[in-house]
Amino acid sequence: MSVEEIIASIIALMIAIIGHEIMHGLVAYKYGDNTAKNAGRLSINPIVHVDLVGTIILPAVLFFSGAPFMFGWAKPVPINIRTVLRNGGYSGAIAVSLAGITYNFFLAIIASFVLPYFNMEGSFVGYLLYMLVVYNVVLGVFNLYPIPPLDGSHAIEYFSRIVKMDFIADFLNKLERYGMIILIILIATPLSNYFFYPAEYIIDLLLK
């Protein structure tokens, strides 16, 4: 991988993970929650969003180990969900939960439409667009899984409250203590081939 491709990959990853978190904060702000804004987390300055493990260590380990792509996350944006629930109800909470995923898929689709106008081989912009598709789809699909603390689990939790199926929300709350263990098993074992298959399918679909 050339220096330009490494730089493009890093930029694409930062755009995907930082934008994802900012969108959570922006939608929460729409529902009257100033927590992220007051903490300076609605800024596009990448420094305020850096998570030591998710933004630096994990992507570096994946890169130097020869993984097919880097992966990571930014520091979660602080949100006062009680304020969101008070002003927007469970529908507002679902909107906050899915804001980052929506951003990722939207950006991936836009990048896939623009990509054909650039030659990916030897083109910094072309490779950047390609990696924007890859990282945003991977991040979007990853967060859709109903495994706490991923966004998909929060959306399902709030939706289950709406339809009076509180046992689902209660189950997800109990599952949260094991969530990171489950995710590590799914990502760090051969199960990852199945875990990321939906993302691979969507990437192939967008890049055709």
Task: Point out the residues that are catalytic.
Answer: 21
**Which phi and psi (to 5°) does residue 197 adopt?**
-60, -45
User: How far is residue 113's CA from residue 133's CA, in Å, rounded to a whole number?
Assistant: 10
Q: In this structure, are residues 66 and 1 in contact, taking their beta carbons and an 8 Å threshold?
A: no
Cα→Cα distances 181→91, 131, 148, 156, Å: 29, 28, 10, 20
* Closest-CA residue to 145 (of 92, 199, 188, 193): 199
CA atoms within 13 A on the CB side of 127: 15
Q: 């109903």: which residue's tokens?
A: 146
Query: How far is C-alpha 201 from the geometric centre of its chain's CA atoms?
Result: 17
Cα→Cα distances 163→81, 92, 170, Å: 19, 15, 14
User: How far is residue 148's CA from residue 73's CA, in Å, rounded to a whole number?
Assistant: 15
Q: Which amino acid is at 2?
A: S
Query: How far is C-alpha 40 from the geometric centre of its chain's CA atoms?
Result: 20
